[in-house]
Amino acid sequence: MAMKIRLARGGSKKRPFYRIVAADSRMPRDGRFIEKLGTYNPLLPKDSEDRVKMDVERIQHWLGQGAQPTDRISRMLEAAGVIAKKERANLKKAVPGKKAQERAAEKAAKAEAAAEAANAPAEAPAEAATAEE
């Protein structure tokens, strides 16, 4: 049986509340579970003690039995110091692609050239006026 430690959603519409459960991975998210291991209330402030409550002893038991925590649960366990931090890929989704970066560089170069051109004629007449005096 493939075991997971995961979140099961409860609460009403737009008011989420989650149970941390050990369940068979083939069961529905909010369906049958084997044991309740804790709670998670995302509506509470991040520094609140009641935001995440876990029975660490039972979680370690299930991890010893081969249960796999989901990504969100593994982050909670890492924060609690139950499991070691994993190395995660730092995806750079917000970084523009090559062509967009090239266009931005060209635009910046043109703007710089235009700024230099705007400053250059303003200095030339000033030099000419001082030369005439």
Q: Which tens digit of pLDDT belongs to each residue from 35-87?
A: 999 999 999 998 988 999 999 999 999 999 999 999 999 999 998 888 888 88
> What is the model's pTM?
0.64
What is the Cα–Cα distance from 93 to 77, expressed in whole angstroms?
A: 26
Mean pLDDT across 12-32: 91
**CA-CA-CA-CA torsion for 22, 25, 27, 29, nearest 10 degrees?**
70
DSSP of 80-98, one letter per residue? HTSSPPPP-----TTS--H
Mean pLDDT across 10-26: 93
What is the Cα–Cα distance from 54 to 80, expressed in whole angstroms?
A: 9
Q: Please tell me whether residue 24 adopts helix, strand or coil conformation.
A: strand
CB 64 within 8 A of CB 3: no
Q: Does position 88 have pLDDT exceeding 90, yes or no?
A: no
Q: Does position 125 have pLDDT exceeding 70, yes or no?
A: no
How many Cα atoms sit within 13 Å of 104 on the Cβ side? 7
Tokens found for residue 102: 């090239």
**What's the pLDDT score for residue 17?**
94
> What single-letter DSSP state applies at residue 31?
S
CB 8 within 8 A of CB 22: no
